[in-house]
Amino acid sequence: MPATHSPEGRISTALRNFGCSELAFVKLCKSLAVQISSGGINEALAGKRTFDQQTVEQLFGVLAKMNALQNSIGTIPVDWSRTELISTAIKCEELSNVAGGKDFAELADRATKAVTQ
């Protein structure tokens, strides 16, 4: 088990709080162009290795996106195993933000609702 305040410990805690499996997290990372392997996550979250700084920043970025998605939905639990839908919802939300909320807001809203069904 990694140290509680280490990056690996913080990632482990975040995944547990989200109710997201390591496998779903790896799939989501890959769909968001973050290269990480299941073995790498397993080893790091078991305290057998540490991530380099670039990987930590990328993984924290994915966690921040997951948090933003969960916050936009509210108390409805997200089914994190639906990685394709979640990735689409995150990307639509990012497009909506880039476009100033125009044109993509309805699409982002629909994609966000899809991950809770």
Q: What distance in Å separates the CA atoms of residue 107 and residue 89, rounded to the nearest whole number?
A: 8
Residue 65 lies in a domain: yes
Which residues span the domain enclosing 45? 7-114
Residue 66 lies in a domain: yes
Residue 1 lies in a domain: no
Structural domains in the chain (count):
1
Residue 28 lies in a domain: yes
Max CA pair span of the chain: 46
Tokens representing residue 81 in the block: 């195993």
Residue 2 lies in a domain: no
Q: What is the full per-residue pLDDT of the chain (117 aa) written as tens digits? A: 666 689 999 999 999 999 999 999 999 999 999 999 999 999 999 989 999 999 999 999 999 999 998 988 888 889 999 999 899 888 877 777 666 655 556 666 776 677 666
Q: What distance in Å separates the CA atoms of residue 110 and residue 5, rounded to the nearest whole number?
A: 36
* Cβ–Cβ < 8 Å for 107, 52: no
Residue 55 lies in a domain: yes
Residue 58 lies in a domain: yes
